[in-house]
Every structure is written in C-alpha cells, then in structure tokens.
Homo-oligomer: A and B are copies of this chain.
Amino acid sequence: MTGRSGRRAGKPDTRGAILAAAREAFGARGFDRASVRGIAADAGVDPALVHHYFGTKEQLFQATLAIPIDPGQVLSTMLDGDRDRVGENLVAAGLAAWDSPAGVAAAALLRSAMTSEWSARLLREFLLTQVLRRVRRRLDLDGPDADWRLGLAASQMAGLLVMRYLLRMEPLASAPRAQIVTTVGPTIQHYLTGALDLPAA
C-alpha cells in the first residue's frame, strides 16, 4: 500500500534515513507544517525518492508510526453512513481494526506513546490530523465545541481499546464486537452530536 516494493532501488539505509527524518519532522513541526521536501533534504535524498518509497505525505506519516492500515480508507467507509450512526460506526470500525492483524501494531504504538514523549507527540499529531480532522469535517463540527466533542469521543474510544486490548479486563476483553457497539456507540455519538454542557467559547 505504501510502495515498499520500491525498496530495491535505493541504498540499504535510504529508507531508514527517510523514516528517521520524517519522525523528527512530524514530531517537531507537526504534520501540516512538515514538508516532504524538507524531510528529503534532512535525509539527504531527492523528494522524488521519498514519494517513490512511501507514496503520499499521509502514507509517509503512517509508515513513520508503523501503522499498517490507511485511516483515510477506514474512516471514509465508516463516516459515509448516517450521521446519527457515526458513533456506532466508529466503534465498529475501531474494534474491527484492532481485532485484525493491524491491531498488534496499533497496540504497540499506543504502548510506546505512553512511555515516550516523542511517540506521544507523533500519536497526538496522527489522531488530530489523520483521524479527528476527518470526523470533524464529516460532521461539520466547528469551533471550541468541536475540540471538546472530539476529545471526549476519543477518550471513550481510547479507554475502550485500553480495557479490551491492553489491560484485557472482562467483560470488555471477550465481548462480541456487536455488543460493545451497542453499548459504547451511543456514548461516542452523544459526545459528537448530542446536547453537552460545554464551556462557553
């Protein structure tokens, strides 16, 4: 998905040098302000080689975090449906992704983010620009309310993932996905689109 078959074209450490420069740039400047051109310069390679190895800037960011699925694809599917079902769809898709082989990488990323400030910074940036921004657009959320709504929804989703996959506490650890969707989906929906007592702007 990220054009890794191009590996044969470069020096053995070119890919690693690009990833290291990207990790540094995305963490220090954030996704929006980091540029493929700047990352290429830091790695001492031509920008075309970055695209050749990793595809788009989004894909480079995913590769930096070793995330094997494209959140844009996953999210576009789950955000396509009824606005009133976004909460359930987000829980369903999140659990499906974590129950898939990609879940191992996701768990490793979450663990890493809790013990390394740099990883936490990258994960925050990833959630903000690759996940929450898409939800925000889909739901036409705006202003300080939107930050609260997305933050609260993310907190419930994060807690669900932590309890089910990292701490493995029952009944959430073994429950069928559909049951969790039914009970947690409405909470996420409420945070995103329901009546909340939020701080005045």
Q: Which A residues lie at the B interface, using CB under 8 A?
A: 110-111, 113-115, 120, 123-124, 127-128, 144, 147-148, 151-152, 154-160, 162-164, 166-172, 175, 179, 182-184, 187, 190-191, 196-199
The 5 closest A-B pairs by CB, nearest first: A159-B159, A155-B159, A158-B159, A155-B163, A114-B166
Assuming A124-B167, A156-B156, A159-B162, what are 19 further A-B pairs, CB within 8 angstroms? Answer: A113-B167, A114-B114, A114-B162, A120-B167, A124-B168, A127-B169, A147-B171, A148-B183, A152-B184, A154-B159, A155-B164, A156-B187, A158-B159, A159-B160, A162-B162, A175-B199, A183-B196, A183-B198, A187-B191
Closest CB-CB distance, A35 to chain B, in whole Å?
Answer: 24
Do A167 and B111 form a contact, CB below 8 Å, given A155-B162, A155-B172, A179-B199? no
User: Pick the contact of A163 from B158, B168, B183 — CB < 8 Å?
Assistant: B158
Closest CB-CB distance, A86 to chain B, in whole Å?
Answer: 17
Contact B160 A147, beta carbon cutoff 8 Å: no
Enumerate chain B residues within 8 angstroms of A160, measured Cβ to Cβ.
Answer: 155, 159
Contact A168 B120, beta carbon cutoff 8 Å: yes
Contact B113 A152, beta carbon cutoff 8 Å: no
**Alpha-carbon distance A190/B167, docked complex (angstroms):** 23
Enumerate chain B residues within 8 angstroms of A127, measured Cβ to Cβ.
Answer: 169
Main secondary structure of the interface of A (DSSP, over half): helix
> 29 A-B contacts, Cβ less than 8 Å apart?
A111-B114, A114-B162, A114-B166, A120-B166, A123-B167, A128-B169, A144-B171, A147-B170, A148-B171, A148-B183, A151-B170, A151-B171, A154-B163, A154-B169, A155-B159, A155-B160, A155-B162, A155-B163, A155-B164, A155-B172, A155-B184, A156-B187, A158-B158, A158-B167, A162-B162, A183-B196, A183-B197, A183-B198, A187-B187
